[in-house]
Amino acid sequence: MQVGSRRAIVNPQSGTGDHADYAERLLRGRGYAVEQTTGPEDAVRFGREAGADGVSELAVCGGDGTINEVLRGLADSDALGEPTVGVVPCGTANILADALGIRDLRHGVELADSGPVREIDVGVAGGKPFVVSCIAGLPADASLAASSDLKSRFGTFAFVVTGVQEALGFDGIDIELAATVAGRTETWEGEATCVLVGNARKFIEEGGQADMEDGLFDVAIVDKMPAGNLVAEAVGHRVLGQETDGVTHIRASELTVTGPEPITFSRDGELATHERLELTNEKRLLSLRVGPTYDPTPG
């Protein structure tokens, strides 16, 4: 066990892929030992090792995909609640960094050194962690989900409905959903375009950052609808009205989604397919450095 150790995991290919040397220099200047990934899943291994080694401060320089890999590694070592994690954004969308009020790479390094720490909820879906969102109803085309061109043009969620559904004639998913809402079980059954489960972000009303410390998911279930429908467009723009027809909004602490067919879902961008997906919320499990504009209770 190293006491007071600082380690950083840098994905040199995130975003525009031109930040690695600069990031490494800044991080070393703050006492971080730096490891660079050389390919997919490397950050999972580094995260696992950091957890096993008892690293106390772990900076992650990359986008949401890299953060997801590191969290998976920490979870493998049963150490998700152990290190204080600093997010140093240099990905394409950087949704988590945005929600935490971390502006850019330089700001992320500064905060990783001495920023305020908050305890943030972690979602667990199918046994694996996510912090931003888990979306069911995405076709199993990994190349589309990973396309940074689509992401930068439409944002991470825009293409879920407007892009993918129209491009592939996506049919929707047949689901049964059971959710724990204020201690009671609520159910939903039918054909859905998608199920959007937000931890760090919400999809209803003005969208944006969700309360990340309440132990609850912001869930939007969007009924199946023809492509081009206004609700599909609203999802594309990440804004669904509270009372929009065809959209069910709940705030749940637990969720089970079951289908007759395997359902593909994206956990912070990582795709997986399950016939039954259980989602639980580990309230305030992860210690994260946040920026000065971070709002623990957004409206």
Ligand X SMILES: Nc1ncnc2c1ncn2[C@@H]1O[C@H](COP(=O)(O)OP(=O)(O)OP(=O)(O)O)[C@@H](O)[C@H]1O
Residue ranges binding ligand X (CB under 6 A): 11-15, 37-40, 42-43, 62-66, 69, 91-94, 148, 151, 269
Q: Closest distance between ligand X and the C-beta of residue 299, in Å? A: 25
Closer to ligand X at the Cβ: 132 or 221? 132
70 three-state secondary structure: helix
Closer to ligand X at the Cβ: 65 or 129? 65
**Pair 108, 89: CB distance under 8 Å:** yes
Q: Closest distance between ligand X and the C-beta of residue 60, in Å? A: 9
Closer to ligand X at the Cβ: 12 or 262? 12
Closer to ligand X at the Cβ: 102 or 221? 102
Q: Closest distance between ligand X and the C-beta of residue 65, in Å? A: 2
How far apart, in whole angstroms, are the C-alpha atoms of residue 159 and residue 37? Answer: 28
Q: Closest distance between ligand X and the C-beta of residue 52, in Å? A: 20
Q: Closest distance between ligand X and the C-beta of residue 43, in Å? A: 6
* Residue 61 region by backbone torsions, left for phi larger than 0, else alpha for psi between -120 and 50, else beta: beta
Q: Give the HSE-up count for residue 93: Cα atoms under 13 Å, Cβ half-sphere.
A: 24
Closest residue to ligand X using C-beta atoms: 63
Closer to ligand X at the Cβ: 91 or 137? 91
* Residue 222 region by backbone torsions, left for phi larger than 0, else alpha for psi between -120 and 50, else beta: beta
Q: Which residues are CB-neighbours of 275 under 8 A, at least 6 positions away?
A: 258, 259, 261, 262, 263
